[in-house]
């Protein structure tokens, strides 16, 4: 029984705990306008991140409005392999009564998860005094003027600064449903202040007053240069607003719909760029003098909130060995005025100038200190005073002194650093400190290289001859290469060159046959010579070349009829010798040979003239 | 017989030339050694005279100018020393002794080399070719030109590697342009460079003793000579400012 009771209590406790452990999640509501009149509508979106299966929420209970569900819109993105999704439910709310209403926070539960939204303020005015509702969708939020859609805000964290105190100044450009391009860095009127350079701007979205804005944020630092009351700003920002041009109406209703669509507007660039200047409000700022009361004697003007860390080492050194003291000042504030007091040279302590390096949020001072006697027991303390702008009080941070052990001179051979010839330092035993002498290097004893005066190489004719020879040689080789290339690619040209050679060969062979009385071979040689010569010269097929097919070419070359007749005679004589060898005489052979030589000579001369 | 006579006269002529050259060389060696001896004994004025005598006889060489410059340094004439160090640097620029003494002399005079005041590119070229003599740079440029011509010829006949050869040609052509710029730089300095040898030289707007003074050059300052006119030089300082000085206050490198 006892066991059953305990079990029952446990189950009851479990059941109460489970609902309490239901998860909570946020979702966001945004509206496209937050000022409207009775009877007008606004669009409200409910956006759920990392989920796509959230059903539409029942909004029937919203004061002052009638809600109508329009539909959902889902979105999925994959960035660096990570997938995220969201679903947005869209509603149209009609204002049924005038007044100031707050929509949300909306709450509902789905699959064990409680969803809670933000709230949005909406003002509904009477229909009689409501601003006219614009029907032009391109004007963005109906009821929101351009000033409410695009504006600049400048902010600083405090309006009372101390002299030299560094504070951040932020300028934000808010943009809602407008296209802004060519945004310039803001200019801030800053008389009495020193303004640093603006960092690269950040871009993000945020919901302000229930309206989602694209925000471009610029940050810089300022500090006051003199005490008094000043006005910082306004921040002025130049940019270009893209405005849709009024499109031309054509006579055809269909064409209107077709050509007036936004697709074509975007495609054909029917937006125009209008430069605008946005200004923020001024911010009154007072720059105060740091209080004199309680100012430490070593205060050098450092303003902010700082920490000091100091390390000195090595802890055991010999006389004359360096000890490095590294002090790091970190925090927030005006680092340009952070100065640490230097150690001073003493009889037993040699000090070198500190090396100062600065990085964002920290400034490092490295100073070398050299004990000159074994009586030195410690490196003196370092103190740093600053004015804490948060607490409004002076603070002094003190670190050290730093104990060190300095070995006496007798127990440690003195050494000194000298610069070796190859760079790098060597420790060598040293005697008395020395001063190196300086003088010129001795003369050259050897007479080599000394001789009668000669001209310089660039004046030497041999060098110029080499240059000219090499250039000419390349020119010749290039010419030969170009010539050979032309002969191999330009067959007409090659043929023209080969024609006289072929003619000379043929005439020589014909002469031999003529002298030997071999008429058949003679006329064969003459015929072949005529074919090869005329074929190569006029770029005609050699095989099968006859007077009939070469005549038009010769006439085109303005060969006189007389010479055409001679060429025809030669061809006819060759035909006759082939078909009626009995009618050929030796006189005829000699005559044909002479005519062949004359024809070749004449055509060559004519070719050169042309 | 005739051939024998020609051969005999030819050989005699060659021998005469050789012996003249040898005699000259022996005279030069002896003169150089004597001048060195004077220097060794601290007689710097005598050493200067001996070295200048050798120069007047037509001798030259990096060692001669170097020793002459040293003698002038010892004698306290920094300007004359610098002009002779400049002459030595034209011939043996990579010599460490010349470099060291030249730097020492510049330090004594408080001057720098002429091209210090030039635009960055010329300074860079000057520094790049600092260790190469004028003759060396000429030979280098010639070799590069031969290489370019050889590559261009190969490109004509080796079609498979035309592109590669084309790339090499472009690269060597750029090297040639670079070397040519360096050579031109050195030639300009050799032909027109000068150094102030007086304690100071007043540069005037006109080649007239009473003309307005423009600026003053100290001993050892390097300049470029632009013109000559009746005992005056028109000189240009490294920053480009030009004016007239009496010739006697300067000594040109090619004198």
**pLDDT of B77-86, one tens digit each?**
999 999 999 9
pLDDT score recorded for residue A610: 46
- All residues of chain A having their beta carbon less than 8 Å from the beta carbon of residue B149 are 470-471, 473-474
Please check whether residue B213 is in contact with residue B204, taking contact to mean a CB–CB distance below 8 angstroms: yes
List pLDDT tens digits, range A288-312: 888 888 888 888 888 888 999 999 8
pLDDT score recorded for residue B96: 94
- All residues of chain A having their beta carbon less than 8 Å from the beta carbon of residue B24 are 452
User: A135-156: b or e for each residue (b if 16 or more CB lie within 10 Å)?
Assistant: eeeebbbbbbeeebbbbbbbee
pLDDT score recorded for residue A416: 46
Instruction: State the average pLDDT over residues A461-488.
Output: 91
* B159 shares contact with chain A (CB less than 8 Å): no
Long-range contacts of residues A109-116, Cβ cutoff 8 Å, at least 24 apart? A109/A22, A110/A54, A110/A55, A112/A22, A112/A23, A113/A22, A113/A23, A113/A24, A113/A25, A114/A22, A114/A23, A114/A24, A114/A25, A115/A24, A115/A25, A115/A26, A115/A27, A115/A48, A115/A54, A116/A24, A116/A25, A116/A26, A116/A27
Q: How far is A78 from chain B (nearest CA, A)?
A: 45
Please check whether residue A574 is in contact with residue A523, taking contact to mean a CB–CB distance below 8 angstroms: yes
Helices (H), ranges, chain B: 2-40, 44-56, 62-74, 78-91, 96-109, 120-128, 134-157, 162-192
Residue A263, pLDDT > 60, answer: no
Residue A431, pLDDT > 80, answer: no
pLDDT score recorded for residue B113: 76
Smallest Cβ–Cβ distance between A440 and the set B54, B60, B104 belongs to: B104
Q: How far is A436 from chain B (nearest CA, A)?
A: 14
Residue A220, pLDDT > 60, answer: yes
Please check whether residue A185 is in contact with residue A197, taking contact to mean a CB–CB distance below 8 angstroms: no
- All residues of chain A having their beta carbon less than 8 Å from the beta carbon of residue B74 are 440
Smallest Cβ–Cβ distance between A450 and the set B61, B134, B135 belongs to: B61
- All residues of chain A having their beta carbon less than 8 Å from the beta carbon of residue B61 are 449-451
pLDDT score recorded for residue A422: 46
Please check whether residue B104 is in contact with residue B220, taking contact to mean a CB–CB distance below 8 angstroms: no
ipTM: 0.81
Name the pLDDT band for A563 (thresholds 50, 70, 90): very high
pLDDT score recorded for residue A13: 54
* A546 shares contact with chain B (CB less than 8 Å): no
* B19 shares contact with chain A (CB less than 8 Å): no
Please check whether residue A117 is in contact with residue A105, taking contact to mean a CB–CB distance below 8 angstroms: yes
DSSP H or E segment with residue A148: helix A146-149
Distance separating alpha carbons of residues B221 and B250, to the nearest angstrom: 10
* B146 shares contact with chain A (CB less than 8 Å): yes
Q: Do A443 and B153 touch (CB under 8 A)?
A: no
Q: How many CB pairs under 8 A join A and B?
A: 96
Residue A419, pLDDT > 70, answer: no
Work out the mean pLDDT of chain A and round it to a whole number.
82
- For the record, the structure tokens of A491 come out as 């067959």
Smallest Cβ–Cβ distance between B70 and the set A443, A449, A474 belongs to: A443
3-state secondary structure A236-269: EEEEEEEEECCCCCCCCHHHHHHHCCHHHHHHCC
Interface test mutation site (partner B, options A437, A439, A458, A483, max chain B beta carbons within 10 A): A458
Alpha-carbon Rg for chain B in angstroms? 24
Share of chain A above pLDDT 70, in %: 83
pLDDT score recorded for residue A24: 72
- What are φ and ψ of residue A213, in 5° steps? -120, 150
List pLDDT tens digits, range B17-31: 676 666 667 778 889
* B56 shares contact with chain A (CB less than 8 Å): no
pLDDT score recorded for residue A54: 86
Name the pLDDT band for A12 (thresholds 50, 70, 90): low
Smallest Cβ–Cβ distance between B36 and the set A443, A457, A471 belongs to: A443
Q: How far is B195 from chain A (nearest CA, A)?
A: 20
Interface test mutation site (partner B, options A437, A447, A448, A454, max chain B beta carbons within 10 A): A447
Instruction: End-to-end CA distance of chain B: give it in Å, rounded.
Output: 51
Distance separating alpha carbons of residues B234 and B249, to the nearest angstrom: 12
| Residue of chain A whose Cα is closest to the Cα of B147 | A470
pLDDT score recorded for residue A566: 94
Smallest Cβ–Cβ distance between A452 and the set B33, B59, B91 belongs to: B59
Name the pLDDT band for B214 (thresholds 50, 70, 90): very high
Q: Do A453 and B92 touch (CB under 8 A)?
A: no
| Residue of chain B whose Cα is closest to the Cα of A473 | B149
Please check whether residue B232 is in contact with residue B201, taking contact to mean a CB–CB distance below 8 angstroms: no
pTM tops 0.80: no
Q: Do A466 and B146 touch (CB under 8 A)?
A: yes
Residue A139, pLDDT > 50, answer: no
List pLDDT tens digits, range A318-362: 888 888 999 999 998 888 788 876 677 777 888 888 888 888 888
- All residues of chain A having their beta carbon less than 8 Å from the beta carbon of residue B135 are 456-458
pLDDT score recorded for residue A429: 54
List pLDDT tens digits, range A31-90: 988 888 888 889 899 988 887 778 888 887 888 899 988 888 887 766 676 777 888 899
Instruction: End-to-end CA distance of chain A: give it in Å, rounded.
Output: 134
User: B82-114: b or e for each residue (b if 16 or more CB lie within 10 Å)?
Assistant: bbbbbbbbbbbbebebbbebbebbbebbebebb
* B62 shares contact with chain A (CB less than 8 Å): yes
Q: How far is B29 from chain A (nearest CA, A)?
A: 6
Distance separating alpha carbons of residues B238 and B236, to the nearest angstrom: 7
Name the pLDDT band for A25 (thresholds 50, 70, 90): confident
Q: Do B105 and A440 touch (CB under 8 A)?
A: yes
* A471 shares contact with chain B (CB less than 8 Å): yes
- Greater confidence (A346 vs A451) lies with A451
| Residue of chain A whose Cα is closest to the Cα of B96 | A441
| Residue of chain A whose Cα is closest to the Cα of B51 | A450
Least confident of A359-368, A421-430, B244-253: A421-430
Q: How many CA atoms lie within 13 A of A147 on its CB side?
A: 2
Smallest Cβ–Cβ distance between B29 and the set A438, A441, A447 belongs to: A447
- All residues of chain B having their beta carbon less than 8 Å from the beta carbon of residue A446 are 63
Name the pLDDT band for B65 (thresholds 50, 70, 90): very high
Interface test mutation site (partner B, options A446, A454, A455, A457, max chain B beta carbons within 10 A): A457
pLDDT score recorded for residue B223: 94
Residue B179, pLDDT > 60, answer: yes
Distance separating alpha carbons of residues A38 and A95, to the nearest angstrom: 5
Peptide bond before residue B131 is cis, with ω within 30 degrees of 0: no
- Greater confidence (A263 vs A126) lies with A126
Distance separating alpha carbons of residues B225 and B235, to the nearest angstrom: 4
* A444 shares contact with chain B (CB less than 8 Å): yes
pLDDT score recorded for residue A259: 45
Distance separating alpha carbons of residues B43 and B30, to the nearest angstrom: 17
Q: Do A441 and B105 touch (CB under 8 A)?
A: no
Name the pLDDT band for A421 (thresholds 50, 70, 90): very low
* A435 shares contact with chain B (CB less than 8 Å): no
- Residue pointed to by tokens 């070349």: A545
pLDDT score recorded for residue A49: 84
Name the pLDDT band for A250 (thresholds 50, 70, 90): very low
């Amino acid at each position: 029984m006892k066991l059953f009771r305990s079990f029952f209590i446990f189950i009851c406790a479990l059941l109460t705990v489970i609902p309490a452990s239901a998860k909570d999640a946020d979702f966001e509501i945004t509206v496209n306008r937050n000022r409207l009149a009775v009877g007008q509508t606004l669009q409200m979106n409910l956006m759920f991140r990392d989920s796509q299966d959230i059903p539409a929420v029942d909004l029937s209970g919203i004061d002052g409005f009638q809600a109508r569900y329009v539909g959902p819109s889902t979105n999925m993105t994959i960035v660096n392999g990570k997938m995220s999704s969201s679903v947005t439910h869209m509603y149209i709310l009609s204002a049924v009564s005038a007044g100031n209403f707050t929509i949300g926070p909306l709450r509902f539960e789905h699959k064990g998860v409680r969803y809670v939204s933000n709230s949005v303020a909406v003002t509904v005015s009477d229909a009689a005094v409501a601003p006219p509702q614009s029907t032009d969708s391109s004007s963005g939020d109906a009821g929101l003027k351009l000033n409410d859609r695009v504006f600049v805000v400048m902010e600083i964290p405090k309006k009372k600064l101390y002299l030299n105190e560094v504070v951040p100044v932020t300028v934000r450009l808010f943009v809602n449903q407008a296209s802004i391009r060519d945004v310039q860095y803001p200019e801030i009127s800053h008389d009495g202040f020193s303004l640093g350079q603006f960092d690269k701007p950040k871009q993000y979205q945020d919901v302000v007053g229930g309206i989602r804005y694209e925000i471009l944020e610029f940050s810089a630092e300022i500090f006051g240069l003199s005490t008094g009351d000043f006005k910082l700003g306004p921040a002025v920002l130049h940019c270009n607003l893209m405005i849709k041009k009024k499109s031309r109406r054509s006579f055809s209703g269909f064409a209107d719909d077709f050509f007036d669509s936004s697709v074509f507007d975007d495609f054909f660039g029917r937006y125009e760029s209008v430069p605008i200047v946005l200004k923020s409000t001024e911010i009154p700022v007072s720059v105060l003098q740091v209080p004199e009361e309680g100012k430490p004697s070593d205060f050098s003007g450092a303003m902010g909130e700082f920490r000091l860390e100091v390390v000195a080492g090595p802890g055991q050194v010999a006389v004359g060995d360096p000890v490095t003291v590294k002090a790091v000042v970190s925090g927030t504030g005006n680092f340009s005025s952070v100065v640490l007091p230097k150690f001073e040279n003493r009889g037993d302590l040699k000090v070198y100038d500190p090396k100062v390096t600065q990085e964002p949020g920290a400034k490092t001072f490295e100073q070398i200190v050299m004990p000159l006697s074994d009586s030195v027991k410690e490196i003196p303390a370092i103190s740093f005073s600053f004015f804490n702008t948060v607490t409004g009080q002076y603070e002094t941070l003190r670190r050290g002194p730093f104990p060190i052990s300095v070995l006496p001179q007798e127990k440690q051979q003195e050494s000194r650093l000298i610069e070796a010839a190859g760079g790098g330092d060597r420790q060598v035993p040293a005697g008395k400190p020395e001063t190196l002498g300086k003088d010129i290097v001795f003369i050259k004893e050897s007479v080599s290289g000394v001789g009668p005066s000669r001209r310089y190489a660039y004046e030497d004719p041999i060098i110029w001859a080499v240059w000219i020879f090499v250039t000419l040689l390349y020119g010749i080789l290039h010419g030969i290469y170009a010539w050979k290339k032309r002969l191999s690619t330009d067959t007409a040209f090659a043929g023209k060159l080969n024609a006289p050679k072929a003619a000379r060969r043929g005439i020589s062979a014909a002469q031999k046959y003529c002298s030997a009385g071999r008429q058949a071979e003679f006329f064969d040689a003459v015929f072949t010579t005529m074919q090869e010569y005329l074929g190569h010269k006029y770029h005609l097929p050699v095989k099968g070349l006859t007077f009939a097919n070469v005549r038009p070419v010769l006439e085109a070359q303005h060969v006189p009829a007389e010479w055409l007749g001679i060429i025809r005679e030669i061809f006819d004589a060759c035909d006759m010798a082939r078909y009626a060898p009995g009618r050929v005489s030796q006189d005829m052979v000699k005559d044909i040979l002479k005519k062949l030589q004359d024809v070749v000579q004449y055509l060559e001369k004519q070719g050169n003239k042309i | 017989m005739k051939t024998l006579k020609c051969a005999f006269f030819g050989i005699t002529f060659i021998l005469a030339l050789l012996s003249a050259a040898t005699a000259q060389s022996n005279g030069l060696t002896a003169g150089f050694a004597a001048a060195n001896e004077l220097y060794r004994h601290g007689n710097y004025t005598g050493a200067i005279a001996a070295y200048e005598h050798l120069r007047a006889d037509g001798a030259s060489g990096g060692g001669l100018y170097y020793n002459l410059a040293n003698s002038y340094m010892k004698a306290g004439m920094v300007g004359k020393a610098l002009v002779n160090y400049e002459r030595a640097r034209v011939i043996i620029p990579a010599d460490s002794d010349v470099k060291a003494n030249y730097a020492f002399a510049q330090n004594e005079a408080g001057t720098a080399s002429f091209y210090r005041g030039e635009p960055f590119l010329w300074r860079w070229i000057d520094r790049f070719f600092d260790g190469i003599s004028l003759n060396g740079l000429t030979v280098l440029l010639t070799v590069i030109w031969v290489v370019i011509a050889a590559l261009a010829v190969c490109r004509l006949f080796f079609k498979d590697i035309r592109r590669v050869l084309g790339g090499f040609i472009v690269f060597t052509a750029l090297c040639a342009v670079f070397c040519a710029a360096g050579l031109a730089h050195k030639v300009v300095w050799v032909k027109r460079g000068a150094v102030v040898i007086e304690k100071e030289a007043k540069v005037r707007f006109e080649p007239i003793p009473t003309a307005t003074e423009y600026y003053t050059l100290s001993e050892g300052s390097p300049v470029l000579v632009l013109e000559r006119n009746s005992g005056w030089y028109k000189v240009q300082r490294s920053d480009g400012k030009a004016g007239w000085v009496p010739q006697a206050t300067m000594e040109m490198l090619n004198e």
